[in-house]
Amino acid sequence: MTAVGIDVGKASLDVAIDGAPGVARFANTAAGIGKLIKRLKAVVEARVVVEATGGYEDAVLDACCDAGLWVARINPRQARDFARATGELAKTDEIDARLLCLLSRLFAGRLRRYEAAAPWQRDLRGWLRRRGQVVTTLQAQKQQAAMAPATIGKLMARTVAALRHELAAIDREMKELLDEHLTPALRSSKGMGPIFQATSLALLPELGTLTRQQIAKLVGVAPMNRDSGQTRGKRRIRGGRAPVRVALYMATLSAVRWDPVMKAHYQQLRERGKVAKVALVACMRKLLTIVNARRRDELMAGASMAA
């Protein structure tokens, strides 16, 4: 096994290969990634670790998967915590690449291999990202228009109208993809709207392949212990995939009102003295567990039919 660490930037990829001198730099473009893949294919049993960088890592991750290379993606908090644990307080692209390489060498066996997204999932992921940008800009424009002078307000109203038109177009594109690829598991609760469905399909491809404990940790709705000696700390959720957790939260808000099973579970928790937010997080975990189990059954049924 040969450890490889890739520090991803908007314009460049810094690559550290265990046993190779220095850190190589490749452009974060189609041509640059092509050269990188050619270099990595020459490495014996490469174990590549990439740090998540706001989407700039997507192209190199997909290219590694398409080339059949083993690659894992870790979140920035994990990378930074590892750097501090080694005593490295400085931060440069070269240092980050070397640290990711070291992390790969020490912990590759404990990292989850990145699963390549299907082309339609990549499209859906792009639409979701753009939708989030449009929604954020639209909210800002509406707030500013309310305080702007009349002449400026007219111009801002045009911008708001254009953004609403774009948002509607994005929703239509997403609906077409959902109509084609959505499974019954993601229609199994009244709280599951198109945003939750799209987010689950695009950003949680592991759905149905993990245990309920693993999927809860991956999304960030599993309570984590904080115990030491005789001290028993308060368990809190932490980490996980924030976009999926936000979509799950909104779906759960609807589910505890309209879905009989989730509504009854929420009311039971409240009657047992749980505060509203704790009860809601527990319902988030339950809803995720239900969807994960139903998706697992779908995958098993599909595998049986294929066999």
Note whether residue 190 is domain-resident.
no
Total domains present in the chain: 3
Please provide the DSSP assignment of 147-171 as one string. Answer: HS-HHHHHHHHHHHHHHHHHHHHHH
Same domain, 210 and 286: yes
Note whether residue 25 is domain-resident.
yes
Which pLDDT belongs to residue 108?
Answer: 83
Predicted confidence pLDDT, tens digits, the chain (307 residues): 899 999 999 999 999 999 888 899 999 999 999 999 999 999 889 999 999 888 899 999 999 999 999 999 998 888 999 999 999 888 899 999 999 999 999 998 889 898 888 889 989 999 999 999 999 999 999 999 888 898 898 899 999 999 999 999 999 999 999 999 988 888 877 889 999 999 999 999 889 999 999 999 999 998 877 777 767 777 788 888 899 999 999 999 999 999 999 999 999 999 999 999 999 999 999 999 999 999 999 988 887 776 6
Note whether residue 256 is domain-resident.
yes
CA distance 117 to 267: 38
Same domain, 106 and 162: no
The H or E element spanning position 78 is: helix 76-85
Which of 140, 157, 181 lies at the terminal end of a domain, its last residue?
A: 181
**3-state SS, residue 224:** strand
In this prediction the pTM is 0.84
Q: Which two tokens stand for residue 244?
A: 């999926």
Q: Please give the sequence-ordered ranges of beta strands (E in DSSP) within 54-106, or none if there are none.
A: 70-74
Same domain, 206 and 278: yes
Domain ranges, residue 56: 2-110
Which pLDDT belongs to residue 303?
Answer: 77
Which of 61, 79, 110 lies at the terminal end of a domain, its last residue?
A: 110
* Helix boundaries (H) for 108-208: 119-147, 150-181, 194-203
Note whether residue 186 is domain-resident.
no
Q: Which of 140, 112, 89 is nearest to 217 (CA)?
A: 112
Same domain, 7 and 89: yes
Which pLDDT belongs to residue 275?
Answer: 94
User: What is the domain-level CATH number for residue 65?
Assistant: 3.30.420.40
Which pLDDT belongs to residue 307?
Answer: 63
**One-letter amino acid of 217:** K
